[in-house]
Copies of this chain bind each other. A is one copy, B any other.
Amino acid sequence: MLRVNEPINQLLLAGGDNFLTSLSVDCVILGFHEGQLKVLLLKHRYRDMWALPGGFIYKHEPTDAAAYRVLKERTGLDDVFLNQFHVFGDPGRSSKEFHLEDFETDGIPMSSDHWILQRFVTIGYYALIEFSKAIPAGDLLSENCQWWDIHELPTLILDHHEIVNKALVALRLQLSHQPIGYNLLPEKFTMPELQKLYETILDKKLDRRNFQRKLLSFNILQRLDETKKGVAHKAPYYYKFDLEKYNDALREGLDSGW
């Protein structure tokens, strides 16, 4: 228990001076693996519950930088796609009792007006990362950090389930305006992989042939001469994004409407 208590104590003592006292960030870190969207979650140190990676904001730190910091610490990744999507600002969203109970189990005495027990407003970010590049790492409060299938989440603490859901809704709405495929897929990918990604995010089956036609019509993909090896049945071609054209297209939105 010492392993955990020592860093916690440091956080509790110094934290109030270093951090903004009522604001935090929480990150919905998304990856795509084996045809499924995955979320990175941290195991609660005692409870049979999991939590989104989150953190406090240093007094002179941009909120975005705080989210990047959390992301770097949990995944080892630097240059990631990160998007603020919603503020969760209900006073009831965090529970003083919940945390007090934890610290009691820790054996850490805690006055009930300690800053860390107060109400926290949290800024939700979602991050899109290339699954294979991330190296999940636990934090002070949790040795266990791992990916969960977005459709088979464990019990989450507080309102973290709502945060994940809101992130998915935001992702769906921004699908045509953000380089979502580029950030979630490896550099080379096949058309069925890309389609599966869209299907997972939209939670909807798409026609294979029409999907291909539509995406090619955007002129953002570049087909490579290489086909996928060691695969049963006919081998699909590899594609990669033409980043320049992709970004140009996103500015207008891939699916204009108006």
List the number of copies, as a whole number. Answer: 2
Q: How far is the CB of A96 from chain B (nearest CB, A)?
A: 12
In the assembled complex, A23 has its CB within 8 A of some CB on chain B? yes
> How many angstroms from the CA of A180 to the CA of B87 in the assembled complex?
22
B91–A60 touching, CB < 8 Å: yes
- Closest B residue to A62 by beta carbon equals B90
Q: Which residues of chain B are within 8 angstroms of A258 by Cβ–Cβ distance? A: 175-176, 198, 202, 204, 206, 255
Residues from 175 to 230 in A contacting B, C-beta threshold 8 Å: 175-177, 198, 202, 204, 206
- Closest B residue to A123 by beta carbon equals B87
In the assembled complex, A86 has its CB within 8 A of some CB on chain B? yes
A62–B87 touching, CB < 8 Å: no
A64–B84 touching, CB < 8 Å: no
Q: Which residues of chain B are within 8 angstroms of A61 by Cβ–Cβ distance? A: 91
Q: How far is the CB of A25 from chain B (nearest CB, A)?
A: 9
Could you tell me which A residues sit within 8 Å of B by CB distance? 20-23, 57, 59-64, 84, 86-87, 89-91, 119, 121, 123, 173-177, 198, 202, 204, 206, 255, 257-258
| Leading 4 A-B pairs by shortest Cβ distance | A63-B89, A255-B257, A20-B22, A62-B90
